[in-house]
Structure 1
Amino acid sequence: MNDAIDPELELADQLLQLLQAAPAGLSEYELIRQLKGGHSSHIPNLPLLDNLVLFRTHFLVFNALYLLRERLWDEQRAHLAISPLCVQLQPYRAGGAGLSEHDPLRDYYLDLNNLRDTREDDVQKLLTSFWTRMQGGEEKQAALELFELHDSLQPLNLATIKRRYRQLVSQHHPDRGGSTERLQSINKAMEILERYYD
């Protein structure tokens, strides 16, 4: 009997091992870096310079994280807190809200049609929409979204924002293979956030 191994579950197991070794949690960027460093065959083995490659890598990791969260909850082993800035295993609490609350992000990432059907022009539209909102009076919210701080559970201050800014600049600097356009977006977002948090 030949049981095929579900690739998403294999990626979930790899993520679980990484998270078990980091009790304080890991950012999405760090998870992807470690997966690539471990030569995971479950995410694209390409530089994250292209918007579509970046989107697909992000989607696959979040799909596996949501699958892992459900599995750990069903087994009453742990709760998995999922945020781009910090993915962390937390103790299982019986009777907690768990997975009962409707989570549109969960629905999005567990629907593989969103991965299959999203093309490069769709990713570009998402980025354009982001900047349109930013110019339309929602600049603070848009800048926080770019920095992936919009759903932070911790109170935000300028030190936290600057730390995230340095991470993003390091990650997307053209000298490290990033794009000038992305770096300009990050710098613009930092200027906006400094006005609100200075």
Structure 2
Amino acid sequence: MTTDLDPAQDLSEQLHELLREAPLGLSEYELIQRLKTRHSTHIPHLELTDKLVLFRTHFLVFNALYLLRDQLHADRSAHLAISPLCVQLMPYKAGSAAISELDSLRDYYLDLANLRDTTEEDVEKLLASFWTRMQGSEEKSAALELFGLHDSSQPLNLALIKQRYRQLVSVHHPDRGGSTSRLQSINKAMEILQRYYN
């Protein structure tokens, strides 16, 4: 690892190393914990219970992941599947694994103004907006998105949803460093999905 990399590139390299060590992939939470264990200087070493700290940590990690995905794609060396539940290095495939020209999430995370300009009030609005969608006509889509299943290639059924639910609860439980509000969101999403998939 060279020292002349900018912080985002250096964080991308650190994430690449962690992902090479975990062929089955890692959740965002696991990546953050491993970065902290290795004393990465590119993410805040503060409790994730503060919404703004959580947002900034999440943003920095996803910014670095999208930079890494672009680099791997340019090198034709691998494809990086990015989801909060599982970030995984995959074999490079031209075409189907290619980066979409219109990727709004990529655009969001690569625009550092979104990190710089987002306040705690904005984070609260983002969370409120999510719950408005959950309670409206898009509740099923929003719940699947929270579970990381909104663009799943495998058929959705209650067994798969329950498996994801257990994974999320184990990662986001307050006893494991998660937040009560996030756990409540996960439980609410599970209630909604049970109505659709029972």
Pick the TM interval, shorter chain. 0.7 to 0.9
Residues 85 and 147, structure 2, Cα contact 8 Å, conserved in 1: no
What SS does structure 2 have at the residue aligned with 1:80?
Answer: strand
1:106-140 Cα offsets, whole Å, 9 max, x none, are 11111100111111111110111111122222221
Distance 1:73-1:128 versus aligned 2 partners, 3 A rule: same
Residues 85 and 149, structure 1, Cα contact 8 Å, conserved in 2: no
Equivalent residue number for residue 161 of structure 2: 161
Equivalent residue number for residue 134 of structure 1: 134
In the aligned structure 1, how far is the partner of 2:25 from the partner of 2:171? Answer: 19
Equivalent residue number for residue 195 of structure 2: 195
Indicate the larger mover: 27-36 or 119-128: 27-36
Equivalent residue number for residue 31 of structure 1: 31
In the aligned structure 1, how far is the partner of 2:193 from the partner of 2:96? Answer: 35
Distance 1:153-1:30 versus aligned 2 partners, 3 A rule: farther
Residues 84 and 148, structure 2, Cα contact 8 Å, conserved in 1: yes
Distance 1:182-1:81 versus aligned 2 partners, 3 A rule: closer
Structure 2, unaligned stretches of length 5 or more?
none
1:140-198 Cα offsets, whole Å, 9 max, x none, are 11222222322223322222222222233333334445443333322222111111112
Number of residue pairs matched?
Answer: 196
Equivalent residue number for residue 11 of structure 1: 11
In the aligned structure 1, how far is the partner of 2:91 from the partner of 2:174? Answer: 40
What SS does structure 2 have at the residue aligned with 1:154?
Answer: coil
Equivalent residue number for residue 147 of structure 2: 147
In the aligned structure 2, how far is the partner of 1:78 from the partner of 1:156? Answer: 27
Q: Give the CA RMSD over aligned residues.
A: 2.1
Structure 1, unaligned stretches of length 5 or more?
none
Identity of aligned residues (%): 74
In the aligned structure 1, how far is the partner of 2:112 from the partner of 2:123? Answer: 16
Equivalent residue number for residue 40 of structure 2: 40
In the aligned structure 2, how far is the partner of 1:57 from the partner of 1:31? Answer: 11
